[in-house]
A and B are shown apart, each in its own frame.
Chain A
C-alpha cells in the first residue's frame, strides 16, 4: 500500500505559525487531505488539495503541494490553543474509485499560551 510519513510532534507558541509536513509515495494520487482529531473525537476533514494545484488557502489554513518531491504541508497562521490536536495527512489510493485513503500516523500539535 501507499506510504504516508509525518513527524509525530510539533510545539508552537500561541500566535505563531505552525507548519505540519507530510511526504507520500503515490504520485498518481488525485487528492490529498488534511484531517484534524481533537481528544476523544473522530477525524474532521479540514481541507484537501487536488493534485494539479500547488497551493490552496482557506482562512488561516494554507496547503502547499510539491508534486516533484511528493511533499505536502499544512500551515496554520496565528495558531490558537484550540488548534491543539492531532493532524493527519492522507492520500487517495492510486486510480481507485473506492475512495480508500492512506493515512500518516498523525502529528500531535501542542500550542502553548
Chain B
C-alpha cells in the first residue's frame, strides 16, 4: 500500500512564525502536491512538484514556498504565518494517470 505521511496531525503557531509542514511518501512517485482544504471551498492546489528540485505554482501559492531536495520528501513552508492560513493542509503523491494518494492531513491553527 502507498503510504504518504505528514509530520503532524495538529499544529498551533503564532502569527509571523516560519512554519514547516513535512510530507514523505514511500512509493517512489515522481509527483507530489500540497493542497489546502477550507469549508465550502473544497481543495485548492498550493504547489506541486514533478521531480526533485522542480516546483510549479498551483492556484494559491501566495504566502507559501516549497522544497523538494529528495524524491520522497516535499516540504511546504509558510514564510510568515498569518491567521488566514489557518486551514487543513493535505499532501499527496502520484504516478501520472494513476490517481493521487493523500496523507492524513495537518490541521494548522495560526493564532
Mark A residues whose CB is within 8 Å of B.
1, 30-31, 33, 35, 40-45, 48, 88, 92, 96-101, 103-106
Contact = CB atoms under 8 A, between A and B. Distances in A.
Interface residues of B, number: 28
Contacts of A31: 97-99
Given A43-B90, A43-B102, A99-B95, A105 B50 contact: no
Contacts of A96: 96
Interface string B22-57: 000000001101000000111101001010000010
Interface of B: 4, 30-31, 33, 40-43, 45, 48, 50, 56, 59, 90, 92, 94-105, 107
Contact of A98 (B31, B40, B42, B99): B31
Given A48-B99, A105-B41, A105-B42, A99 B31 contact: yes
10 contacts: A41-B105, A42-B103, A43-B92, A43-B102, A98-B56, A99-B94, A99-B96, A99-B97, A99-B98, A100-B45
Nearest to B42: A105
Nearest to A43: B102
Contacts of A92: 97
Contact of A42 (B31, B56, B90): B90
Nearest to B32: A99
Secondary structure at the A interface, as helix, strand, loop or mixed, is loop
Contacts of B100: 43, 45, 99, 101
> Taking each of B43, B45, B101, which has the highest tally of chain A beta carbons within 10 Å of its own beta carbon?
B43
Contacts of A105: 40-42
A73 B102 CA distance: 22
Contacts of A104: 42
